[in-house]
């Protein structure tokens, strides 16, 4: 099979790294665009065998440089996304709306076979969230400029590289209590990163052209249950405290003062809405890629560092201790 050339934006993130490994193993050649080659290239380069990967430094405003990359690409995958806005043009509008619109235009101009764009689940409902509005507007721009595009809307994506379970595990480990927003009732259908990238690989290798695909995991879990499961996995007990909305907003406003806020007021608004399949669009199961990795089974593989004893709390070490006891 002739290796197809994939152009990946945002490839240094959680989904990007996993996707690079999957695509290059399956004979695709990837070109990964990053804003900072000095900081990110060692992370990106080690995800693939030499000869299968190129790394290019560019930001979303360098259209001329990006155009050159489109000339030798068959597939474009956009994984760029932010959870909070920052200075210097890093706004939801620029990143989630204008840039995907530009990529879609270039896909049309250079006759690409596929454009896969990562959007997010639940954005139709979350009308008061700037994040959701910008993602939705981005989808519209894409559909207008390149109707062949496939838009993926994942629920929470988790893996050892995520910023979700790993951050929660750290906070649960350190804090004596943890806030429950909206009484912890918001529902999610977390999908393991590898199941999501399997879906992306399936779409491009089988030439599937479905406008919007909701990507969901095998279980529906509430926010409270998610925290309880994490606590159980690290064998800790913490008080989960329901936060009244005004207090939640006040604390989010406080966190916004930090360069990497744990939660923002916009995320708080987003958290009001369930993050599960809407029933209006196809899901990964409908295209033959049901998610098979369960939350507890997967998190168990990497959560041991947050348990008492760290690396020595794994089953591997526990069974050795048992053996030693028997010997002595």
Ligand X SMILES: NC(=O)c1ccc[n+]([C@@H]2O[C@H](COP(=O)([O-])OP(=O)(O)OC[C@H]3O[C@@H](n4cnc5c(N)ncnc54)[C@H](OP(=O)(O)O)[C@@H]3O)[C@@H](O)[C@H]2O)c1
What are the residues binding ligand X (CB under 6 A)? 10, 12-16, 34-35, 40, 59-60, 79-82, 90, 95, 118, 120, 154, 156-157, 164
CB of 82 to ligand X, least distance (A): 5
SS3 320: helix
Measured over the CA atoms of residue 218, residue 213, residue 100 and residue 45, the dihedral's sign is: positive
39 vs 183, beta carbon nearer ligand X = 39
SS3 157: strand
CA–CA dist 16, 9 (Å, integer): 8
Instruction: Find tokens 């977390």 and name the residue.
Output: 190
* DSSP string across 276-318: S--SSSEETTTTT------HHHHHHHHGGGGSTTGGGGSHHHH
Chain residue at closest Cβ approach to ligand X? 13
36 vs 232, beta carbon nearer ligand X = 36
CB of 284 to ligand X, least distance (A): 13
Contact 152, 198 (CB under 8 A): no
98 vs 172, beta carbon nearer ligand X = 98
Contact 43, 51 (CB under 8 A): no
CB of 104 to ligand X, least distance (A): 15
CB of 234 to ligand X, least distance (A): 20
CB of 208 to ligand X, least distance (A): 19
Beta bridge partners of 180: 242
Contact 180, 241 (CB under 8 A): yes
CB of 152 to ligand X, least distance (A): 8
17 vs 238, beta carbon nearer ligand X = 17
CB of 14 to ligand X, least distance (A): 4
What is the biggest distance separating any 2 CA atoms in the chain, rounded to whole angstroms? 73
38 vs 237, beta carbon nearer ligand X = 38
79 vs 299, beta carbon nearer ligand X = 79
* DSSP string across 151-179: EEEES-EESTT-SSHHHHHHHHHH-SEEE
CB of 40 to ligand X, least distance (A): 5
68 vs 308, beta carbon nearer ligand X = 68
Contact 113, 205 (CB under 8 A): no
Q: How many CA atoms lie within 13 A of 281 on its CB side?
A: 22
SS3 153: strand
118 vs 221, beta carbon nearer ligand X = 118
């Amino acid at each position: 099979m002739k290796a197809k050339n994939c152009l990946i934006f945002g490839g240094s993130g959680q989904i990007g790294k996993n996707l690079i490994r999957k695509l290059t193993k399956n004979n695709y050649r990837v070109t990964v665009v990053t804003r900072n080659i000095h900081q990110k290239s060692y992370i990106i380069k080690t995800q693939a065998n030499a000869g299968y990967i190129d790394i290019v430094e560019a930001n979303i405003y360098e259209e001329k440089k990006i155009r050159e990359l489109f000339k030798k690409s068959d597939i474009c995958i956009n994984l760029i996304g932010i959870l909070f806005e920052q200075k210097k043009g890093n706004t939801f509008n620029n990143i989630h709306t204008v840039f995907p619109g530009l990529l879609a235009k270039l896909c049309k101009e250079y006759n690409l076979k596929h454009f896969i764009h990562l959007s997010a689940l639940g954005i139709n409902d979350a009308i008061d969230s700037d994040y959701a509005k910008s993602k939705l507007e981005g989808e519209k721009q894409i559909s207008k400029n390149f109707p062949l595009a496939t838009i993926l809307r994942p629920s929470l994506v988790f893996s050892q590289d995520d910023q979700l379970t790993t951050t929660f595990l750290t906070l649960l480990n350190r804090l004596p209590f943890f806030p429950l927003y909206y009484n912890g009732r918001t529902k999610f259908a977390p999908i393991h990163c590898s199941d999501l990238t399997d879906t992306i690989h399936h779409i491009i290798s089988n030439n599937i052209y479905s406008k919007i695909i909701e990507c969901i995991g095998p279980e529906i879990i509430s926010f409270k249950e998610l925290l309880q499961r994490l606590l159980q996995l690290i064998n800790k007990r913490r008080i989960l405290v329901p936060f009244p909305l005004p207090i939640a907003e006040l604390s989010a406003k406080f966190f916004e003062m930090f360069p990497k806020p744990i939660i923002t007021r916009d995320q708080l608004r987003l958290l009001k809405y369930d993050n599960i399949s809407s029933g209006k669009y196809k899901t990964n199961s409908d295209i033959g890629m049901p998610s098979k990795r369960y939350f507890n089974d997967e998190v168990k593989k990497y959560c041991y560092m947050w348990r008492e004893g760290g690396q020595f709390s794994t089953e591997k070490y526990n069974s050795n201790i048992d053996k030693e006891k028997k010997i002595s």
